Chain A
Amino acid sequence: MISEKTLPYWLLAPSLVFLIALFAYPFADAFIIAFQADGQWTFENFRTMADDINFGLSFWNTLILVLIVVPLQLAIALTMAMMLTKIRAGRDLVLYVWTIPLGISDLAAGVVWLALLSERGYINTALSALGLLDGPTLWLSYETPVALFVAVIFAEVWRATAIVMVILVAGVQLIPKEYNEAAEIFGASAWQRFIKITLPLLKPSLQTALILRTLLAFEVFAVVVALGGRDLPVLMGEAFLWQFDYRDSGVASAYAVLILLISIAFTLVYLRVLRVKEEPQ
Protein backbone atom coordinates (compact mmCIF):
# COMPACT_ATOMS: atom_id res chain seq x y z
CA MET A 1 0.00 0.00 0.00
CA ILE A 2 2.84 2.37 0.85
CA SER A 3 4.91 2.61 -2.29
CA GLU A 4 7.59 5.06 -3.25
CA LYS A 5 4.96 7.08 -5.09
CA THR A 6 2.46 7.32 -2.24
CA LEU A 7 5.04 7.74 0.55
CA PRO A 8 5.21 11.56 0.27
CA TYR A 9 1.43 11.74 0.70
CA TRP A 10 1.54 9.49 3.77
CA LEU A 11 4.21 11.70 5.25
CA LEU A 12 2.11 14.79 4.55
CA ALA A 13 -1.07 13.26 5.92
CA PRO A 14 -0.57 13.93 9.66
CA SER A 15 0.07 17.63 9.14
CA LEU A 16 -2.91 17.87 6.78
CA VAL A 17 -5.21 16.17 9.30
CA PHE A 18 -3.89 18.44 12.02
CA LEU A 19 -4.49 21.59 9.96
CA ILE A 20 -7.96 20.54 8.84
CA ALA A 21 -9.05 19.66 12.37
CA LEU A 22 -7.56 22.61 14.16
CA PHE A 23 -7.56 25.31 11.49
CA ALA A 24 -9.79 24.75 8.49
CA TYR A 25 -12.73 23.41 10.51
CA PRO A 26 -12.90 26.18 13.16
CA PHE A 27 -12.29 28.65 10.38
CA ALA A 28 -15.24 27.43 8.32
CA ASP A 29 -17.25 27.29 11.51
CA ALA A 30 -16.49 30.95 12.31
CA PHE A 31 -17.47 31.88 8.77
CA ILE A 32 -20.85 30.17 9.16
CA ILE A 33 -21.44 31.70 12.59
CA ALA A 34 -20.66 35.17 11.20
CA PHE A 35 -23.39 34.84 8.59
CA GLN A 36 -26.01 33.29 10.85
CA ALA A 37 -28.34 34.56 13.55
CA ASP A 38 -31.06 32.44 15.17
CA GLY A 39 -30.39 29.69 12.65
CA GLN A 40 -31.05 32.00 9.68
CA TRP A 41 -28.57 33.22 7.01
CA THR A 42 -28.20 36.96 7.54
CA PHE A 43 -25.90 39.99 7.52
CA GLU A 44 -27.27 40.93 10.97
CA ASN A 45 -23.92 40.30 12.72
CA PHE A 46 -22.09 42.59 10.31
CA ARG A 47 -24.74 45.28 10.81
CA THR A 48 -24.34 45.05 14.60
CA MET A 49 -20.58 45.23 14.17
CA ALA A 50 -20.71 48.30 11.93
CA ASP A 51 -23.24 50.10 14.14
CA ASP A 52 -21.13 49.62 17.24
CA ILE A 53 -19.68 52.83 18.63
CA ASN A 54 -16.16 51.37 18.77
CA PHE A 55 -16.17 49.85 15.28
CA GLY A 56 -14.98 52.87 13.29
CA LEU A 57 -12.42 53.74 15.93
CA SER A 58 -11.02 50.21 16.13
CA PHE A 59 -10.93 49.91 12.34
CA TRP A 60 -8.99 53.16 11.87
CA ASN A 61 -6.74 52.53 14.87
CA THR A 62 -5.76 49.14 13.45
CA LEU A 63 -5.25 50.44 9.93
CA ILE A 64 -3.16 53.44 10.99
CA LEU A 65 -1.15 51.25 13.34
CA VAL A 66 -0.39 48.84 10.49
CA LEU A 67 0.42 51.66 8.07
CA ILE A 68 2.91 53.16 10.51
CA VAL A 69 4.37 50.04 12.11
CA VAL A 70 4.96 47.88 9.03
CA PRO A 71 6.88 50.44 6.91
CA LEU A 72 8.83 51.48 9.99
CA GLN A 73 9.74 47.88 10.72
CA LEU A 74 10.68 47.28 7.11
CA ALA A 75 12.98 50.32 7.05
CA ILE A 76 14.61 49.42 10.36
CA ALA A 77 14.98 45.75 9.43
CA LEU A 78 16.53 46.65 6.05
CA THR A 79 18.99 48.97 7.78
CA MET A 80 19.88 46.28 10.30
CA ALA A 81 20.31 43.65 7.57
CA MET A 82 22.57 45.94 5.54
CA MET A 83 24.63 46.85 8.59
CA LEU A 84 25.13 43.15 9.32
CA THR A 85 26.68 42.63 5.88
CA LYS A 86 29.37 45.16 6.77
CA ILE A 87 30.68 43.54 9.93
CA ARG A 88 32.70 40.36 10.16
CA ALA A 89 33.79 39.82 13.76
CA GLY A 90 30.88 39.47 16.17
CA ARG A 91 28.25 39.35 13.44
CA ASP A 92 26.50 36.32 14.94
CA LEU A 93 26.48 37.87 18.41
CA VAL A 94 24.81 41.03 17.10
CA LEU A 95 22.28 38.91 15.21
CA TYR A 96 21.44 36.89 18.34
CA VAL A 97 20.98 40.00 20.48
CA TRP A 98 18.75 41.58 17.85
CA THR A 99 16.54 38.52 17.69
CA ILE A 100 15.96 38.26 21.47
CA PRO A 101 12.48 39.90 21.26
CA LEU A 102 11.44 37.05 18.92
CA GLY A 103 11.55 34.69 21.87
CA ILE A 104 9.11 36.73 23.94
CA SER A 105 5.35 36.33 23.65
CA ASP A 106 3.44 39.43 22.61
CA LEU A 107 1.63 39.68 25.95
CA ALA A 108 4.95 39.50 27.80
CA ALA A 109 6.30 42.19 25.47
CA GLY A 110 3.31 44.36 26.34
CA VAL A 111 3.94 43.81 30.05
CA VAL A 112 7.61 44.75 29.62
CA TRP A 113 6.62 48.07 28.05
CA LEU A 114 3.93 48.58 30.66
CA ALA A 115 6.59 48.28 33.34
CA LEU A 116 8.61 50.90 31.52
CA LEU A 117 5.81 53.34 30.77
CA SER A 118 3.29 53.07 33.62
CA GLU A 119 2.72 55.91 36.07
CA ARG A 120 5.46 54.68 38.43
CA GLY A 121 7.42 52.84 35.73
CA TYR A 122 11.12 52.99 34.93
CA ILE A 123 10.87 55.80 32.43
CA ASN A 124 8.88 58.10 34.71
CA THR A 125 11.23 57.35 37.58
CA ALA A 126 14.28 58.07 35.47
CA LEU A 127 12.83 61.26 34.01
CA SER A 128 11.79 62.60 37.42
CA ALA A 129 15.19 61.73 38.87
CA LEU A 130 16.77 63.76 36.09
CA GLY A 131 14.36 66.59 36.89
CA LEU A 132 12.72 66.44 33.47
CA LEU A 133 9.31 65.60 34.96
CA ASP A 134 7.64 67.05 38.04
CA GLY A 135 6.23 63.75 39.19
CA PRO A 136 4.53 60.59 38.02
CA THR A 137 2.95 61.29 34.67
CA LEU A 138 0.22 59.34 32.93
CA TRP A 139 1.25 58.13 29.46
CA LEU A 140 -1.07 55.23 28.91
CA SER A 141 -4.58 56.56 29.44
CA TYR A 142 -7.53 57.56 27.34
CA GLU A 143 -6.60 61.18 28.13
CA THR A 144 -3.30 60.83 26.27
CA PRO A 145 -4.32 58.89 23.16
CA VAL A 146 -1.31 60.01 21.12
CA ALA A 147 1.17 58.96 23.80
CA LEU A 148 -0.64 55.63 24.12
CA PHE A 149 -0.56 55.15 20.35
CA VAL A 150 3.14 55.97 20.21
CA ALA A 151 3.79 53.56 23.07
CA VAL A 152 2.03 50.76 21.17
CA ILE A 153 4.07 51.57 18.05
CA PHE A 154 7.30 51.45 20.10
CA ALA A 155 6.36 48.13 21.66
CA GLU A 156 5.33 46.61 18.33
CA VAL A 157 8.50 47.78 16.60
CA TRP A 158 10.62 46.48 19.45
CA ARG A 159 8.80 43.17 19.54
CA ALA A 160 8.34 42.24 15.89
CA THR A 161 11.01 43.93 13.77
CA ALA A 162 13.40 41.03 14.30
CA ILE A 163 11.29 38.59 12.28
CA VAL A 164 11.41 40.93 9.29
CA MET A 165 15.15 41.34 9.78
CA VAL A 166 15.77 37.58 9.96
CA ILE A 167 13.94 37.07 6.65
CA LEU A 168 15.83 39.94 5.01
CA VAL A 169 19.21 38.82 6.37
CA ALA A 170 18.60 35.38 4.86
CA GLY A 171 17.59 37.04 1.57
CA VAL A 172 20.63 39.32 1.47
CA GLN A 173 22.90 36.32 2.01
CA LEU A 174 21.41 34.66 -1.08
CA ILE A 175 22.47 37.53 -3.36
CA PRO A 176 25.82 36.63 -4.94
CA LYS A 177 28.55 39.09 -3.98
CA GLU A 178 29.54 39.51 -7.62
CA TYR A 179 26.41 41.52 -8.47
CA ASN A 180 27.38 44.23 -6.03
CA GLU A 181 30.99 44.14 -7.12
CA ALA A 182 30.01 44.40 -10.77
CA ALA A 183 27.79 47.39 -9.97
CA GLU A 184 30.69 48.95 -8.06
CA ILE A 185 33.08 48.42 -10.98
CA PHE A 186 30.57 49.93 -13.38
CA GLY A 187 30.30 53.10 -11.34
CA ALA A 188 27.42 52.70 -8.89
CA SER A 189 27.76 54.42 -5.51
CA ALA A 190 26.84 52.55 -2.33
CA TRP A 191 23.35 54.08 -2.36
CA GLN A 192 22.85 53.32 -6.07
CA ARG A 193 23.94 49.72 -5.47
CA PHE A 194 21.39 49.42 -2.69
CA ILE A 195 18.56 50.89 -4.79
CA LYS A 196 19.41 49.34 -8.16
CA ILE A 197 20.85 45.96 -7.20
CA THR A 198 20.16 44.88 -3.63
CA LEU A 199 16.53 45.98 -3.33
CA PRO A 200 15.32 44.46 -6.64
CA LEU A 201 17.17 41.20 -5.93
CA LEU A 202 15.69 41.17 -2.44
CA LYS A 203 12.12 41.28 -3.78
CA PRO A 204 11.19 37.68 -2.91
CA SER A 205 12.30 38.17 0.70
CA LEU A 206 10.64 41.58 0.92
CA GLN A 207 7.41 40.03 -0.29
CA THR A 208 7.55 37.23 2.27
CA ALA A 209 8.44 39.57 5.12
CA LEU A 210 5.77 42.11 4.21
CA ILE A 211 2.97 39.57 3.90
CA LEU A 212 3.90 37.85 7.14
CA ARG A 213 4.32 41.04 9.12
CA THR A 214 1.22 42.78 7.74
CA LEU A 215 -1.02 39.81 8.49
CA LEU A 216 0.29 39.65 12.02
CA ALA A 217 0.03 43.42 12.41
CA PHE A 218 -3.70 43.31 11.63
CA GLU A 219 -4.05 40.82 14.45
CA VAL A 220 -2.36 43.15 16.93
CA PHE A 221 -4.02 42.58 20.29
CA ALA A 222 -2.01 41.52 23.33
CA VAL A 223 0.40 44.46 23.32
CA VAL A 224 -2.51 46.90 22.99
CA VAL A 225 -4.46 45.25 25.79
CA ALA A 226 -1.43 45.20 28.09
CA LEU A 227 -0.64 48.87 27.53
CA GLY A 228 -4.03 50.44 27.04
CA GLY A 229 -6.73 48.02 28.07
CA ARG A 230 -9.78 49.27 26.22
CA ASP A 231 -8.54 52.80 25.82
CA LEU A 232 -7.18 51.99 22.37
CA PRO A 233 -9.75 49.83 20.58
CA VAL A 234 -8.40 47.61 17.77
CA LEU A 235 -10.23 45.07 15.59
CA MET A 236 -8.87 41.97 17.27
CA GLY A 237 -9.61 43.46 20.70
CA GLU A 238 -13.22 44.06 19.67
CA ALA A 239 -13.52 40.48 18.46
CA PHE A 240 -12.26 39.29 21.84
CA LEU A 241 -14.65 41.62 23.65
CA TRP A 242 -17.71 40.45 21.71
CA GLN A 243 -16.79 36.82 22.19
CA PHE A 244 -15.95 36.80 25.88
CA ASP A 245 -17.60 39.86 27.42
CA TYR A 246 -20.76 40.29 25.35
CA ARG A 247 -20.97 36.54 24.67
CA ASP A 248 -21.93 37.15 21.04
CA SER A 249 -20.00 34.73 18.84
CA GLY A 250 -21.79 35.99 15.74
CA VAL A 251 -20.40 39.53 15.95
CA ALA A 252 -16.99 38.25 17.11
CA SER A 253 -16.89 36.01 14.04
CA ALA A 254 -17.90 38.94 11.85
CA TYR A 255 -14.83 40.80 13.12
CA ALA A 256 -12.67 37.75 12.38
CA VAL A 257 -14.03 37.57 8.83
CA LEU A 258 -13.37 41.28 8.34
CA ILE A 259 -9.74 40.91 9.48
CA LEU A 260 -9.37 37.96 7.13
CA LEU A 261 -10.72 39.92 4.16
CA ILE A 262 -8.41 42.86 4.84
CA SER A 263 -5.47 40.46 5.15
CA ILE A 264 -6.31 38.79 1.85
CA ALA A 265 -6.62 42.18 0.17
CA PHE A 266 -3.20 43.31 1.40
CA THR A 267 -1.60 40.01 0.43
CA LEU A 268 -2.95 40.32 -3.11
CA VAL A 269 -1.58 43.85 -3.35
CA TYR A 270 1.88 42.67 -2.23
CA LEU A 271 1.84 39.73 -4.62
CA ARG A 272 0.97 42.06 -7.46
CA VAL A 273 3.29 44.98 -6.66
CA LEU A 274 6.31 42.87 -5.71
CA ARG A 275 5.80 40.10 -8.24
CA VAL A 276 8.95 38.33 -9.30
CA LYS A 277 9.11 37.56 -12.99
CA GLU A 278 8.99 33.89 -13.83
CA GLU A 279 12.11 33.36 -15.87
CA PRO A 280 12.53 30.16 -17.85
CA GLN A 281 15.96 28.75 -17.15
Chain B
Amino acid sequence: MEIRVKNVSKFYDSEGKRIEALVDVDLVIPSNRIFTLLGPSGCGKTTLLRCIVGLESPDTGEIAIGDEVVFSAEKGIFVPPDRRGLGMVFQTYAIWPHMNVFDNVAYPLQARSEPKGEIERKVARALRFVQLDGFEKRPATKLSGGQQQRVALARALVAEPKVILFDEPLSNLDAKLREETRKELRRFLTELKITAVYVTHDQIEALALSDAIAVMRNGRIVEMGTPREIYFDSDRQFVADFIGHANFIPGTVAAAGEKATIVDSAIGPIACARKTGAAPGQAATVCIRPEFIRVLSEGRGGGENVFRGTVESLVFVGDAFEGEIRVGETLLIFRIDSTAAVREGEEIALQFDPRHCSILMN
Protein backbone atom coordinates (compact mmCIF):
# COMPACT_ATOMS: atom_id res chain seq x y z
CA MET B 1 0.00 0.00 0.00
CA GLU B 2 1.32 3.39 -0.99
CA ILE B 3 1.93 6.10 1.61
CA ARG B 4 1.67 9.72 0.53
CA VAL B 5 3.05 12.50 2.69
CA LYS B 6 2.22 16.01 1.53
CA ASN B 7 3.69 19.25 2.90
CA VAL B 8 4.05 17.85 6.37
CA SER B 9 5.70 20.12 8.94
CA LYS B 10 6.10 19.65 12.65
CA PHE B 11 7.40 22.12 15.20
CA TYR B 12 8.32 21.83 18.84
CA ASP B 13 8.72 24.52 21.42
CA SER B 14 11.73 23.96 23.58
CA GLU B 15 12.73 26.57 26.15
CA GLY B 16 11.14 29.35 24.13
CA LYS B 17 12.86 28.30 20.92
CA ARG B 18 10.92 26.88 18.02
CA ILE B 19 12.49 23.70 16.75
CA GLU B 20 11.69 22.56 13.22
CA ALA B 21 11.41 18.79 13.39
CA LEU B 22 9.93 18.44 9.91
CA VAL B 23 9.79 21.10 7.20
CA ASP B 24 7.43 20.69 4.22
CA VAL B 25 8.12 17.02 3.73
CA ASP B 26 6.76 15.63 0.46
CA LEU B 27 7.17 11.94 -0.04
CA VAL B 28 5.58 9.00 -1.79
CA ILE B 29 6.49 5.65 -0.32
CA PRO B 30 5.85 3.01 -2.99
CA SER B 31 3.84 -0.05 -2.07
CA ASN B 32 5.43 -3.42 -1.35
CA ARG B 33 8.94 -2.00 -1.12
CA ILE B 34 11.37 -1.57 1.72
CA PHE B 35 11.72 2.16 2.09
CA THR B 36 14.34 3.62 4.42
CA LEU B 37 14.48 7.01 6.06
CA LEU B 38 18.17 7.58 6.68
CA GLY B 39 19.89 10.40 8.47
CA PRO B 40 21.91 11.49 11.48
CA SER B 41 20.20 11.71 14.86
CA GLY B 42 17.90 14.69 15.16
CA CYS B 43 17.23 14.84 11.42
CA GLY B 44 13.52 14.22 11.87
CA LYS B 45 13.35 10.66 10.55
CA THR B 46 11.77 9.22 13.68
CA THR B 47 9.35 12.14 13.92
CA LEU B 48 8.23 11.46 10.35
CA LEU B 49 7.72 7.78 11.16
CA ARG B 50 5.74 8.67 14.28
CA CYS B 51 3.57 11.02 12.24
CA ILE B 52 2.82 8.24 9.77
CA VAL B 53 1.94 5.79 12.52
CA GLY B 54 -0.14 8.37 14.40
CA LEU B 55 1.89 8.75 17.60
CA GLU B 56 2.44 12.41 16.75
CA SER B 57 0.31 14.76 14.80
CA PRO B 58 1.99 17.16 12.37
CA ASP B 59 1.25 20.89 12.34
CA THR B 60 0.59 21.13 8.62
CA GLY B 61 0.01 18.90 5.62
CA GLU B 62 -1.67 15.63 4.86
CA ILE B 63 -0.80 11.96 5.19
CA ALA B 64 -2.62 9.21 3.29
CA ILE B 65 -2.14 5.46 3.61
CA GLY B 66 -3.55 3.80 0.50
CA ASP B 67 -6.81 5.57 -0.19
CA GLU B 68 -7.44 6.64 3.37
CA VAL B 69 -6.43 10.09 4.55
CA VAL B 70 -5.21 9.45 8.09
CA PHE B 71 -4.14 13.00 8.80
CA SER B 72 -5.05 16.33 7.34
CA ALA B 73 -4.38 19.61 9.08
CA GLU B 74 -6.72 21.43 6.72
CA LYS B 75 -9.68 19.08 7.04
CA GLY B 76 -9.03 18.43 10.71
CA ILE B 77 -8.59 14.70 10.24
CA PHE B 78 -6.59 12.67 12.74
CA VAL B 79 -7.05 8.92 12.80
CA PRO B 80 -5.60 7.64 16.12
CA PRO B 81 -2.83 5.03 15.88
CA ASP B 82 -5.10 2.19 17.00
CA ARG B 83 -7.36 2.70 13.96
CA ARG B 84 -4.65 2.96 11.31
CA GLY B 85 -4.12 -0.80 11.04
CA LEU B 86 -0.32 -0.64 10.92
CA GLY B 87 2.39 -2.75 12.46
CA MET B 88 5.44 -1.27 14.13
CA VAL B 89 8.69 -2.50 15.64
CA PHE B 90 10.08 -0.09 18.22
CA GLN B 91 13.71 0.61 18.92
CA THR B 92 13.26 -0.78 22.44
CA TYR B 93 11.02 -3.58 21.04
CA ALA B 94 8.42 -2.57 23.63
CA ILE B 95 7.79 -6.17 24.64
CA TRP B 96 5.34 -6.08 27.55
CA PRO B 97 7.16 -7.57 30.51
CA HIS B 98 4.04 -8.78 32.32
CA MET B 99 2.94 -11.05 29.48
CA ASN B 100 4.34 -14.19 27.92
CA VAL B 101 5.34 -14.50 24.27
CA PHE B 102 1.90 -15.74 23.22
CA ASP B 103 0.04 -12.83 24.80
CA ASN B 104 2.49 -10.30 23.42
CA VAL B 105 1.99 -11.57 19.90
CA ALA B 106 -1.76 -12.18 20.31
CA TYR B 107 -2.36 -8.64 21.62
CA PRO B 108 -3.31 -6.94 18.33
CA LEU B 109 -5.80 -9.73 17.64
CA GLN B 110 -7.19 -9.62 21.19
CA ALA B 111 -7.57 -5.86 20.91
CA ARG B 112 -9.89 -6.32 17.97
CA SER B 113 -11.66 -9.23 19.70
CA GLU B 114 -10.97 -11.93 17.15
CA PRO B 115 -12.25 -15.42 17.99
CA LYS B 116 -9.97 -17.48 20.21
CA GLY B 117 -9.29 -20.27 17.71
CA GLU B 118 -8.42 -17.75 15.06
CA ILE B 119 -6.02 -15.97 17.43
CA GLU B 120 -4.22 -19.21 18.26
CA ARG B 121 -3.87 -20.11 14.60
CA LYS B 122 -2.50 -16.72 13.59
CA VAL B 123 -0.12 -16.44 16.54
CA ALA B 124 1.26 -19.89 15.80
CA ARG B 125 1.81 -18.89 12.19
CA ALA B 126 3.51 -15.62 13.09
CA LEU B 127 5.79 -17.34 15.59
CA ARG B 128 6.67 -20.02 13.07
CA PHE B 129 7.50 -17.30 10.58
CA VAL B 130 10.01 -15.67 12.93
CA GLN B 131 11.25 -19.12 13.99
CA LEU B 132 10.07 -18.88 17.55
CA ASP B 133 7.58 -21.76 17.58
CA GLY B 134 7.48 -23.44 20.95
CA PHE B 135 8.21 -20.18 22.78
CA GLU B 136 4.52 -19.37 23.45
CA LYS B 137 4.63 -19.86 27.21
CA ARG B 138 8.04 -18.21 27.72
CA PRO B 139 7.76 -15.05 29.89
CA ALA B 140 8.75 -11.96 27.93
CA THR B 141 11.44 -11.12 30.48
CA LYS B 142 13.24 -14.41 29.75
CA LEU B 143 14.10 -13.59 26.14
CA SER B 144 17.42 -12.55 24.63
CA GLY B 145 17.71 -9.31 22.67
CA GLY B 146 17.46 -11.11 19.35
CA GLN B 147 14.44 -13.11 20.49
CA GLN B 148 12.71 -9.97 21.75
CA GLN B 149 13.30 -8.43 18.37
CA ARG B 150 11.61 -11.39 16.68
CA VAL B 151 8.67 -11.30 19.08
CA ALA B 152 8.27 -7.62 18.25
CA LEU B 153 8.33 -8.49 14.55
CA ALA B 154 5.81 -11.31 15.01
CA ARG B 155 3.54 -8.94 16.92
CA ALA B 156 3.79 -6.33 14.18
CA LEU B 157 2.98 -8.92 11.50
CA VAL B 158 0.33 -11.04 13.20
CA ALA B 159 -2.64 -8.89 12.26
CA GLU B 160 -1.51 -8.77 8.60
CA PRO B 161 -1.08 -4.99 8.49
CA LYS B 162 -1.02 -3.02 5.29
CA VAL B 163 2.23 -1.38 6.26
CA ILE B 164 4.94 -2.22 8.76
CA LEU B 165 7.18 0.42 10.31
CA PHE B 166 10.57 -0.04 11.92
CA ASP B 167 12.21 2.50 14.22
CA GLU B 168 15.91 1.59 14.37
CA PRO B 169 15.06 -2.00 15.28
CA LEU B 170 18.63 -3.27 15.14
CA SER B 171 20.41 -0.58 17.11
CA ASN B 172 20.16 -2.48 20.40
CA LEU B 173 21.81 -5.62 19.06
CA ASP B 174 25.52 -6.32 19.07
CA ALA B 175 27.42 -6.03 15.78
CA LYS B 176 27.38 -9.66 14.76
CA LEU B 177 23.76 -10.29 15.66
CA ARG B 178 22.82 -7.06 13.92
CA GLU B 179 24.27 -8.33 10.65
CA GLU B 180 22.50 -11.68 10.90
CA THR B 181 19.19 -10.09 11.83
CA ARG B 182 19.50 -7.61 8.99
CA LYS B 183 19.80 -10.42 6.44
CA GLU B 184 16.93 -12.26 8.05
CA LEU B 185 14.75 -9.17 8.05
CA ARG B 186 15.46 -8.61 4.38
CA ARG B 187 14.36 -12.20 3.68
CA PHE B 188 11.19 -11.88 5.80
CA LEU B 189 10.15 -8.64 4.17
CA THR B 190 10.84 -9.80 0.62
CA GLU B 191 8.79 -12.94 1.29
CA LEU B 192 5.90 -10.97 2.70
CA LYS B 193 5.52 -8.47 -0.13
CA ILE B 194 4.57 -5.75 2.29
CA THR B 195 5.21 -2.02 2.40
CA ALA B 196 7.93 -1.45 4.98
CA VAL B 197 9.14 1.90 6.27
CA TYR B 198 12.46 1.62 8.00
CA VAL B 199 14.20 4.29 10.05
CA THR B 200 17.92 4.11 10.71
CA HIS B 201 21.04 6.20 11.08
CA ASP B 202 23.23 3.33 9.96
CA GLN B 203 24.09 3.71 6.28
CA ILE B 204 25.26 0.13 5.82
CA GLU B 205 21.97 -1.11 7.19
CA ALA B 206 20.12 1.22 4.84
CA LEU B 207 22.15 0.21 1.78
CA ALA B 208 21.85 -3.51 2.50
CA LEU B 209 18.18 -3.58 3.36
CA SER B 210 16.34 -1.05 1.24
CA ASP B 211 14.72 -0.88 -2.14
CA ALA B 212 14.70 2.89 -1.83
CA ILE B 213 16.31 5.37 0.55
CA ALA B 214 15.37 8.91 1.52
CA VAL B 215 18.20 10.79 3.18
CA MET B 216 17.05 13.37 5.71
CA ARG B 217 18.72 16.35 7.29
CA ASN B 218 17.36 19.12 9.51
CA GLY B 219 13.77 18.01 9.02
CA ARG B 220 14.02 17.93 5.24
CA ILE B 221 14.44 15.16 2.70
CA VAL B 222 17.65 15.98 0.86
CA GLU B 223 17.87 13.10 -1.56
CA MET B 224 15.95 10.03 -2.58
CA GLY B 225 16.87 7.03 -4.72
CA THR B 226 17.91 3.40 -4.83
CA PRO B 227 20.87 2.40 -2.66
CA ARG B 228 23.15 2.36 -5.72
CA GLU B 229 22.02 5.79 -6.85
CA ILE B 230 22.53 7.21 -3.40
CA TYR B 231 25.95 5.65 -3.04
CA PHE B 232 27.40 6.30 -6.47
CA ASP B 233 25.54 9.26 -7.88
CA SER B 234 24.64 11.46 -5.00
CA ASP B 235 24.12 15.07 -5.89
CA ARG B 236 25.00 16.47 -2.54
CA GLN B 237 28.15 16.51 -0.46
CA PHE B 238 26.18 15.87 2.75
CA VAL B 239 24.72 12.67 1.34
CA ALA B 240 27.97 11.44 -0.15
CA ASP B 241 29.75 12.18 3.10
CA PHE B 242 27.08 10.61 5.27
CA ILE B 243 26.92 7.44 3.18
CA GLY B 244 30.35 5.95 3.64
CA HIS B 245 33.62 7.88 3.45
CA ALA B 246 34.56 10.16 0.57
CA ASN B 247 37.20 12.60 -0.59
CA PHE B 248 35.91 15.95 -1.75
CA ILE B 249 38.11 17.94 -4.09
CA PRO B 250 36.86 21.41 -4.99
CA GLY B 251 37.42 22.80 -8.47
CA THR B 252 35.78 24.24 -11.57
CA VAL B 253 34.36 22.50 -14.60
CA ALA B 254 36.89 22.74 -17.45
CA ALA B 255 35.19 20.80 -20.17
CA ALA B 256 31.96 18.90 -20.55
CA GLY B 257 32.52 16.13 -23.11
CA GLU B 258 30.45 13.26 -24.42
CA LYS B 259 32.13 10.62 -22.30
CA ALA B 260 33.51 12.55 -19.40
CA THR B 261 33.38 15.85 -17.62
CA ILE B 262 36.74 17.35 -16.74
CA VAL B 263 37.17 19.33 -13.52
CA ASP B 264 40.20 21.52 -12.81
CA SER B 265 41.30 21.15 -9.20
CA ALA B 266 44.23 21.87 -6.90
CA ILE B 267 45.79 18.52 -7.80
CA GLY B 268 45.25 18.97 -11.53
CA PRO B 269 42.51 18.10 -14.00
CA ILE B 270 40.27 15.18 -12.99
CA ALA B 271 38.24 13.24 -15.51
CA CYS B 272 34.87 12.40 -14.01
CA ALA B 273 31.74 10.51 -14.93
CA ARG B 274 29.64 12.65 -17.27
CA LYS B 275 27.49 15.11 -15.44
CA THR B 276 24.47 16.44 -17.25
CA GLY B 277 24.00 20.15 -16.83
CA ALA B 278 27.61 20.86 -15.95
CA ALA B 279 28.92 23.78 -18.00
CA PRO B 280 32.55 25.00 -18.18
CA GLY B 281 33.36 27.63 -15.60
CA GLN B 282 30.94 26.34 -12.98
CA ALA B 283 32.22 25.55 -9.52
CA ALA B 284 32.02 21.83 -8.75
CA THR B 285 33.29 19.34 -6.19
CA VAL B 286 34.70 15.99 -7.20
CA CYS B 287 33.74 13.14 -4.93
CA ILE B 288 35.89 10.04 -4.90
CA ARG B 289 35.43 7.21 -2.41
CA PRO B 290 38.61 5.81 -0.80
CA GLU B 291 38.12 2.33 -2.25
CA PHE B 292 38.26 3.73 -5.79
CA ILE B 293 41.76 5.13 -5.42
CA ARG B 294 44.17 2.58 -6.92
CA VAL B 295 47.89 2.41 -6.26
CA LEU B 296 49.91 1.88 -9.46
CA SER B 297 52.95 -0.35 -9.32
CA GLU B 298 56.26 1.35 -10.24
CA GLY B 299 56.89 1.92 -13.90
CA ARG B 300 53.31 1.57 -14.97
CA GLY B 301 52.38 5.17 -15.58
CA GLY B 302 50.12 6.69 -18.13
CA GLY B 303 46.39 6.86 -18.55
CA GLU B 304 43.83 9.24 -17.13
CA ASN B 305 43.71 10.61 -13.61
CA VAL B 306 47.17 9.57 -12.52
CA PHE B 307 48.69 11.55 -9.65
CA ARG B 308 51.78 11.25 -7.50
CA GLY B 309 51.61 11.58 -3.74
CA THR B 310 53.28 10.68 -0.45
CA VAL B 311 51.80 8.14 1.95
CA GLU B 312 51.27 10.14 5.14
CA SER B 313 49.78 7.39 7.25
CA LEU B 314 48.87 3.77 6.89
CA VAL B 315 46.75 1.63 9.18
CA PHE B 316 46.31 -2.10 8.82
CA VAL B 317 42.64 -2.95 9.53
CA GLY B 318 42.64 -6.63 8.63
CA ASP B 319 41.05 -6.91 5.24
CA ALA B 320 42.64 -3.68 3.97
CA PHE B 321 45.03 -0.82 4.53
CA GLU B 322 43.44 2.52 5.29
CA GLY B 323 45.53 5.61 5.04
CA GLU B 324 46.12 9.13 3.85
CA ILE B 325 48.06 10.29 0.80
CA ARG B 326 49.21 13.85 0.32
CA VAL B 327 48.95 15.06 -3.26
CA GLY B 328 50.31 18.58 -3.35
CA GLU B 329 48.46 20.34 -0.58
CA THR B 330 45.49 17.97 -0.68
CA LEU B 331 45.13 15.09 1.75
CA LEU B 332 43.17 12.12 0.39
CA ILE B 333 41.94 9.10 2.31
CA PHE B 334 42.38 5.79 0.56
CA ARG B 335 41.74 2.13 1.11
CA ILE B 336 43.71 -0.60 -0.60
CA ASP B 337 44.16 -4.33 -0.52
CA SER B 338 46.06 -5.48 2.57
CA THR B 339 48.53 -7.40 0.36
CA ALA B 340 49.69 -4.24 -1.44
CA ALA B 341 53.34 -3.32 -0.91
CA VAL B 342 53.02 0.23 0.32
CA ARG B 343 54.96 1.83 3.14
CA GLU B 344 54.50 5.00 5.12
CA GLY B 345 56.52 7.94 3.75
CA GLU B 346 56.82 6.37 0.33
CA GLU B 347 56.05 8.29 -2.82
CA ILE B 348 53.60 6.42 -4.99
CA ALA B 349 51.52 6.83 -8.14
CA LEU B 350 47.79 6.59 -7.83
CA GLN B 351 44.88 6.56 -10.20
CA PHE B 352 41.18 7.43 -9.92
CA ASP B 353 38.72 5.44 -12.00
CA PRO B 354 36.83 8.16 -13.93
CA ARG B 355 33.57 6.18 -13.68
CA HIS B 356 33.74 6.51 -9.90
CA CYS B 357 34.63 10.19 -9.77
CA SER B 358 31.29 11.89 -9.36
CA ILE B 359 30.65 15.60 -9.55
CA LEU B 360 28.69 17.43 -6.90
CA MET B 361 27.37 20.75 -8.12
CA ASN B 362 27.79 23.39 -5.43
Does A pair with B? Answer: no
Residues of B within 8 A of A (CB): none
Residues of A within 8 A of B (CB): none
